[in-house]
A and B are shown apart, each in its own frame.
Chain A
Amino acid sequence: MNDDFMAVEDRDAEVTPSTSRPGVWREVWRDTMGRVGILTLLGILLTIFLGPVLFPFDGQSFGASAASILQAPTGAHWMGTNELGQDVFRQFLLGGRISLYVGVSATVIAMVLGAGLGMVSGYYAGWRDTVLMRITDFFLVLPTLPLIIVLAALFGQSILITSLVIGLTSWPQTARIIRSQVLSLRERPLVMRVRSLGAGDWRIMSKHILPNVTPLIFANLVLVLSGSILAQAALAFLGLGDPVQVSWGTMLHNAFNSGAMSSGAWWYTLTPGVGIVVMVLAFSLIGHALDRVMNPLRRGVR
């Protein structure tokens, strides 16, 4: 704020931007929301990976009689049974994995594409930037879920294709954000100095630009991850999920279509739904805390 003449010596030093302080994660842990998010995430990961091992119930076999369909929770079935008499609890434990797998795979695809394109675009600027940004802007305009639905309907429903489809629709936003950051980074005196010394493009990008962009990538990654999990859930609910591997979204699809709602089978609906919400919320909290750590002014010191 005070552009004092006495601060001149500061201007040229390699001022570490707030986005690349080491120990960002430590600060996220200190932030209440961040801590709750991290703990919740750990809880979920434990549940979906250790749960099936600890509770090797049978989730596949169908109910013996008509009475065992859509049963409320009992001692035998902790979360009741579904329309086929199968154990909901077991399905719940297993279903989380699919949501996570698809979410993570899609995010990896989106981040690699988005960050990669964003860095190239922002670093080289010029015509490469213009072309890439025009392409990005076009894809930004296409509505996400409708596009995902169309692609899934056209190309298939396996986990692989779902991940690809979601990843391919999520990269434009990341590309834009990374590009802005890289554009401003390349104007920094340090980068200009290193360039004039003859350092190669790759070296500059990997050694000087990438470390400063990484925290921003992480913040965006959490956001994309949340979105991917929600997208996968929506796809599965609409009947476009993998029919073989039951995810939480698929469970909700079955619940909806089997009339579980009108029969009041709340256990069937609530458990997978709450699972999705808690998983996404964990990531959202972490993302929100990251944002607060990287933008301290956002905390609103009046």
Chain B
Amino acid sequence: MSVLRISDLTIDYRLGQGSVRAVDHVSLEIEAGEAVGIVGESGCGKTTLGLSVPLLLPANASVSDGHIVLNGESLIGRSEEEMNHLRWKSVAFVFQGAMNALNPVHRIDKQILEAIQTHEPETSKDDAYARVLELIELVGISPSRAKSYPHEFSGGMRQRAMIAMSLACRPSLLIADEPTTALDVISQAQILALLGELRSQENLSLVMISHDLSAIKKVCDRIVVMYAGVIVESGPTDTVLRRKNGVVTAAHPYTRALMGAHPDLSGERILAPGLAGNPPDLSKPITGCRFAARCPEVMEICRTQTPPTVTITPGHSVTCHLSVRSAS
């Protein structure tokens, strides 16, 4: 049984008079022990998708369609109290930047302790605190720093503290939103290594949301590429992000553009091509492929008909008219 099954999830934001469809009929499945990376530019809906699992969307967002099933339990429509029981125990969230994600007036150990005591009130204070220290050590922070305040930690340490806190209730699923953005390169590497370790040690299922392809490649087995609220490509990381002799083998033009913007460190020196234009306005209805306006390989059919989802190889699918031709 899969840990997480999202089917046809559709999320709208009410803004002023109109609404914006941030996520449009997205389906995703995560097995136990899997690590899936969700990549896309800002505004593509990946954070919204991530926040929707623990039902942490802001008040002006609503789920208009679809299901979220976590460990066999359907989540949409549950009350706040019910969700409070499930949050952190079944699914934990690591927020990006951890700059303000940790309460500035509470000590770190107290914040982690709160997570434990909220969900396991029968645990004695000593046992709970022992676990707090365990977790802190697990992520590589010295237990002597446990009584510190968030502002006394560096960015990297804060992120580790957030990760430690997220594991407090032994969740089956961990969602990390941009865990390495706003960190320096060394800290990034350390955090990614930590995530990889924790995955195997704790048999964690991981969803990592990022715009950094190299981070996803390091940690995730599968990658899902989102654009303007839909999934355009998904498959094993090795397949989708492969470069063969300097040539990118991803199936979707957008993925290829993303790869192009992340040039190979050992490859020849090229001028990283960007992508002109902007994502479409999601407050208006969209005909055809959402990427059509910026696609370097756009065809006439792309502007009028929504592209189908095509399976290229088992486990690797793409939503594009171009692949229809090559698949058939």
Contact = CB atoms under 8 A, between A and B. Distances in A.
A7 B42 contact: yes
A193 interface: no
A5 B213 CA distance: 13
Nearest to A4: B42
Q: Please report whether the interface of chain B is mostly helix, strand, loop or mixed according to DSSP.
A: loop
Which of A2, A3, A6, A7 has the most B CB atoms < 10 Å from its CB?
A: A2
A302 interface: yes
B213 to A, nearest CB: 13
B200 interface: no
Interface residues of A, number: 9
A11 to B, nearest CB: 14
B41 to A, nearest CB: 6
A94 to B, nearest CB: 47
Interface residues of B, number: 12
Contacts, number: 22
Nearest to B211: A4
Contacts of A142: none
Interface string A1-44: 11111110000000000000000000000000000000000000
Given A3-B181, A4-B42, A6-B42, A302 B97 contact: no
B42 A302 contact: no
Q: Please report whether the interface of chain A is mostly helix, strand, loop or mixed according to DSSP.
A: loop
Interface string B88-109: 0000000011000000000000
A2 B211 CA distance: 11
A4 B59 CA distance: 24
Given A3-B182, A6-B41, A6-B42, A302 B59 contact: yes
Contacts of A302: 58-59
A244 interface: no
A301 interface: yes
Contacts of A2: 42, 47, 96, 178
A274 to B, nearest CB: 38
Nearest to B178: A2
B263 to A, nearest CB: 15
Interface of B: 41-42, 47, 58-60, 96-97, 178, 181-182, 211
Interface of A: 1-7, 301-302
9 contacts: A2-B96, A3-B181, A4-B181, A4-B211, A5-B181, A6-B42, A7-B42, A301-B59, A301-B60
Which 4 interchain pairs have the tightest Cβ spacing?
A: A302-B59, A4-B42, A3-B182, A2-B42
